[in-house]
Structure 1
Amino acid sequence: MGRSWRAVTLDLARCLLCPAITRCHCARVDEGSMRVAGYTSLERNNMTHAFVTGASGFIGGHLVRQLRDAGDEVTCLVRPTSDTSQLDEMKPRYVMGDITAPESFSRYLADVDVVYHLAGATKSLRKRDLHRINVEGVRMVAHACAHQRSPPTLVHVSSLAAVGPTTCSCPRIESDEPQPVSNYGRSKLAGEVEVAEFAGDVPITIIRPPIVLGEADRDGLTMFDSIARWNLHLVPGFSEERFSVVHGDDLAAALILASRQGRRLDPEHPSVGRYFVAADESPTYAELGQMVGQALGRDHVRVLHNPKSAVWAIAAINEFASQVRRRAHILGLDKAREATAGSWICSGRSFEQDTGFRPGCDLQARLDQTARWYIEQGWLPEPRFAPCQAS
């Protein structure tokens, strides 16, 4: 029963459109090797030296592999407790430090061309911890870049959560007024404000991803697992909210393109230098479950709609348990605010126009690719499915 309850609560957490559930922004523990191909289609004429924070996280692994596959020199900022197993085979340089302790990494930026700032916190027991990482940490990274003799380009990974959901069918665009609904979203928006203070000294581009899925993603595994084992997909609420999604390969390729061809922050034009990146498709959460089912060889997935009151009830229980255990749960009250707020969709048209970016393949193919990786790594049982042929 304990395993089932955990699966239920974590599957509901996948509804939280924080890109991060954008975990992407957190240097989490991940395992295994990854096969990615996004950066191989980019120009390789100019090899660069990249510095990556949050490299041991899910998105960090995708990014480092694409950079290394292109022959770029990569330095990864990791903490002593970070699991670097997915990075070791790529042979990057490691710097032990923390974004809130600039003395631990600033001297290593002297010969760096690009800093990719992925590190961040998506959940916390206290708001001040979100602020310390997502606001103060961002400021310290930008400050360290600004004080280099030749400041590197800074690509800062924010979140769709910084802008907030949409209550209509219109996707968010870069010129929209931010209206975050969660403490996490407000901390990411505050981080954008902090980094923008350095736009006069550092070339900066901000990327705001939505939900990120892909190989080595432990959070996304929960949705795949419940469908693979029980053919069951839990959906919060009964309305048809839609969600933007991006695959880790495509986000990593977009980050690299942003460093090379993206526009930089302009104090006189607030929307310039900020981009959304997403797949072309914006499925409902029920449709996303059916797409995952197709990737796993399921003809029809059983979709179980839960009232939003159930989301709040589970979140309240998890919040109480988190305080007792002193360990934050992914589905707490803050994430419930996002899960029940409406549709989370954004348009990547501006980024496409400025850089020519296109996802490597469609969302269904990316889900097929992710399912195959989970199965090959033994994270899921072997089903019948049609794998994606990487393009």
Structure 2
Amino acid sequence: MKRILVTGASGFIGSFIVEEALRRGFETWAAVRKSSSRKYLADSRIHFIELNLDDPDNLERQLSGHNFNYIVHAAGATKCLHADDFFRINTRGTENLARAAAAVCGNLERFVFISSLSVCGPVREKRPYTEITDADTPCPDTAYGQSKLAAEHALDAIPNLPFIVLRPTGVYGPREKDYFMMAQSISRHVDFAAGLKPQDLTFIFVKDVVQAVFLALDHGTVGRRYFISDGNVYSSRAFSDLIHDELGRPWLLRVKAPLWLLRTITACGEVAGRLTGRMTALNNDKYKIMRQRNWRCDITPAETELGFKPRYNLIDGVKETIRWYKDNGWL
């Protein structure tokens, strides 16, 4: 029986990875914090381990003796009050885990790092938009994207680490909370759109991210980065229109805000977050993400090298997501 460690196991993507690992018969270890909810980790077969990613020496002791065959590093921060926290969690936390694993996990076959399309930043922004590829030089303009890119570079510097990087575009699905805010807003009769210029968006359903993770455990080239999406490109209204349909098409006020107004709103949100000590979805990083117009990406390497075949398009994924939100009392 292969032994797998999943970090961020209590989170949105991580909890689905744990479920798939159990389904495949792995001895499955979930890395969680003491404060983490275990709502989606109720299966009695799950082994739990607490890891302090801020302490590299202690990490080696915590990992010693487990000799994991696979590590999937899905832990990370998408929202932080201070930019330094992104680098502490996403960059140094990743490097500390990877170095400790390389030092004490003698049977380690793959270290799969969940990065993000955001590492590329606003490249290929001139119309007509074309797909971002791994040949493009990343130029992230968000603290989140910069911290994930720095983590990728840190993995490059670790000798004999059999790592593969996955760069998913916008991930949605059951249990996800950020896209849920859009569904909740539409259920309350307001749809908010960012910017006046056309925007090309890409998405990937969480179960297709999980598919790519397990393909990466056995396929692909060590050291490679793979973009993953559902292979389609959508207009800025496609996601909200599908949510609107699944909610029974309630009456709707559509608000399309120019970027200068969004900049003002997110700047206020950033200040408010720091004053109150509470993270908010309206922040400087969020503005830069909404400002970016081109989110196309080339998934051909993932298809040819990993054997990745997206199973969900946006129609099917949104249908399953909204059904889960309803069944679980979120909507």
| Residue number in structure 2 paired with 1:53 | 7
Q: Distance in 1 between matches of 2:21 and 2:186?
A: 33
Q: Aligned letter for 1:128?
A: D
Q: Distance in 2 between matches of 1:337 and 1:123?
A: 13
Cα deviations by residue, 1:205-225 (Å, 9 ceiling, x for unpaired): 000111110001111111111
Alignment of 1:13-162 (within 5 A): 47-89=1-43, 91-106=45-60, 107-108=62-63, 110-148=66-104, 149-162=106-119
Q: TM-score, normalised by structure 2?
A: 0.93
| Residue number in structure 2 paired with 1:304 | 255
> Is the CA contact 2:195–2:290 (under 8 Å) kept in the aligned structure 1?
no
Greater relative CO, 1 or 2 (CA 8 Å, sep 6+): 1
> Is the CA contact 1:233–1:286 (under 8 Å) kept in the aligned structure 2?
no
Q: Distance in 1 between matches of 2:279 and 2:117?
A: 21
> Is the CA contact 1:286–1:303 (under 8 Å) kept in the aligned structure 2?
no
> Is the CA contact 1:60–1:118 (under 8 Å) kept in the aligned structure 2?
yes
Equivalent position SS for 1:86: coil
1:256 corresponds to 2:214: yes
Q: Aligned letter for 1:122?
A: T
Equivalent position SS for 1:206: strand
Q: Aligned letter for 1:254?
A: A
1:97 Cα deviation from its structure 2 partner: 2.3
1:152 Cα deviation from its structure 2 partner: 3.9
Equivalent position SS for 1:285: coil
Residue number among 159, 164, 187 corresponding to 1:205 in the alignment? 164
Residue number among 147, 150, 174 corresponding to 1:215 in the alignment? 174
Q: Distance in 1 between matches of 2:299 and 2:204?
A: 10
What is the percentage of aligned positions where both structures have the same residue? 29
1:353 Cα deviation from its structure 2 partner: 0.8
| Residue number in structure 2 paired with 1:34 | none
Q: Distance in 2 between matches of 1:104 and 1:251?
A: 30
> Is the CA contact 1:164–1:179 (under 8 Å) kept in the aligned structure 2?
yes
1:320 corresponds to 2:280: no
Equivalent position SS for 1:243: coil
Equivalent position SS for 1:246: strand
Q: Aligned letter for 1:132?
A: R
1:332 corresponds to 2:283: yes
Q: Distance in 1 between matches of 2:42 and 2:55?
A: 24
1:241 corresponds to 2:196: no
Q: Distance in 1 between matches of 2:244 and 2:32?
A: 36
Equivalent position SS for 2:81: coil
Q: Distance in 2 between matches of 1:351 and 1:92?
A: 29
> Is the CA contact 2:187–2:250 (under 8 Å) kept in the aligned structure 1?
no
Q: Aligned letter for 1:178?
A: P
> Is the CA contact 1:296–1:368 (under 8 Å) kept in the aligned structure 2?
no
Pair 1:137–1:286, CA change in 2 (3 A): same
Pair 1:191–1:213, CA change in 2 (3 A): same
Q: TM-score, normalised by structure 1?
A: 0.79
> Is the CA contact 1:145–1:152 (under 8 Å) kept in the aligned structure 2?
no
Cα deviations by residue, 1:57-91 (Å, 9 ceiling, x for unpaired): 10011111111112211111111111111112363
* Aligned length, in residue pairs: 325
| Residue number in structure 2 paired with 1:192 | 152
- Stretch moving more, 366-375 or 276-285: 276-285
Equivalent position SS for 1:88: coil
Q: Distance in 2 between matches of 1:167 and 1:75?
A: 41
Cα deviations by residue, 1:276-327 (Å, 9 ceiling, x for unpaired): 0001222122122112222333288653211111211111111111111122
> Is the CA contact 1:181–1:341 (under 8 Å) kept in the aligned structure 2?
no
> Is the CA contact 2:67–2:108 (under 8 Å) kept in the aligned structure 1?
no
How much is the aligned-residue C-alpha RMSD, in angstroms?
Answer: 1.7
> Is the CA contact 2:54–2:93 (under 8 Å) kept in the aligned structure 1?
yes
Cα deviations by residue, 1:315-358 (Å, 9 ceiling, x for unpaired): 11111111111222222112212211322221211100112211
Pair 1:333–1:361, CA change in 2 (3 A): closer
Q: Distance in 2 between matches of 1:126 and 1:152?
A: 35
Cα deviations by residue, 1:104-129 (Å, 9 ceiling, x for unpaired): 54343632111001111122222221
Q: Aligned letter for 1:176?
A: D
Cα deviations by residue, 1:353-384 (Å, 9 ceiling, x for unpaired): 1122111232201110111111111111xxxx
Gaps of 5+ in 1: 1-46, 266-272, 381-391
Equivalent position SS for 2:237: helix
